[in-house]
Amino acid sequence: MNILEQLFSAQLTVFDQHILWREIIGNGFGFASAIGGLRRRVWAWPAGIIGNLLLFTVFFGVAFANPQHTTLFGQAGRQVFFIVTSVYGWWRWQQARRELAPGAPAITPRWAGARERLAFLAVWALGVVAVQQVFFWFGAGWPAPRWYYWCDAWIFVGSVVATYAMARGWHDFWLAWLAVDAVGVPLLIKSHFYPSAVLYLVYGGLVLYGFTVWLRSAERPAPRPTPLDQPATA
């Protein structure tokens, strides 16, 4: 086994539970991304993408060995959609950032409009119904009860729409994350992915704090560049 394989398979043992270091590191990047999102910084998106790539290898146990011997297809699949949505969010925040003064946050958050929120909730509801059936057809690799597929679909679809709402700069995305965590934490604990479960609990507190920060930020629009900020022309 070469050094890269050793690093990839490195584990930490806590109370007889084997935990992959890439699960810990991946969640660390996820936490950093959440901090960057709270501060409305563009770097939040690439940091999140790195965490998503690492966590995909953790949850997709059928292809990448993990000590739980469990594959969470919903958790693995949402990492892929996180990456896709994060690329969009990265692009959108960079575009918005160009119109603001140097050092200003990338966006000024707002509530989703009535139509936007209706579409947001409709996609979530219909997506859960469709995705749980797809997950059921695909199977979990173990005799999972039907409620497992509903929970996995709730987490999967909710995470995707929450990330999209963050890219749009809507306050609603914080509330969506609370709804995802309410299901995600118990499922992760039951599946023995303890670092992820602990981080999601920490996320809960961070989400509540971030929600209040964004609400206050909406009252103070980001400054526009002044003539002094513009580059000199010949």
* Per-residue model confidence (pLDDT) at position 165: 92
Per-residue confidence of the chain (234 residues) as pLDDT tens digits?
566 566 556 666 655 666 778 888 888 898 898 888 888 899 999 999 999 998 888 877 645 555 555 666 667 777 888 899 889 999 988 888 777 666 677 778 899 999 999 999 999 999 999 999 988 887 766 677 888 889 888 988 998 899 899 888 899 999 998 999 899 888 888 877 777 788 778 878 888 898 998 888 866 555 555 544 444 443
Closest CA to 88 of 42, 56, 40: 42
pTM, two decimal places: 0.73
3-class SS at 170? strand
* Per-residue model confidence (pLDDT) at position 31: 85
* Per-residue model confidence (pLDDT) at position 233: 41
Please list the alpha-helical segments (H only) found in the chain. Answer: 3-9, 21-38, 44-59, 73-97, 114-138, 146-168, 172-190, 194-217
* Per-residue model confidence (pLDDT) at position 14: 59
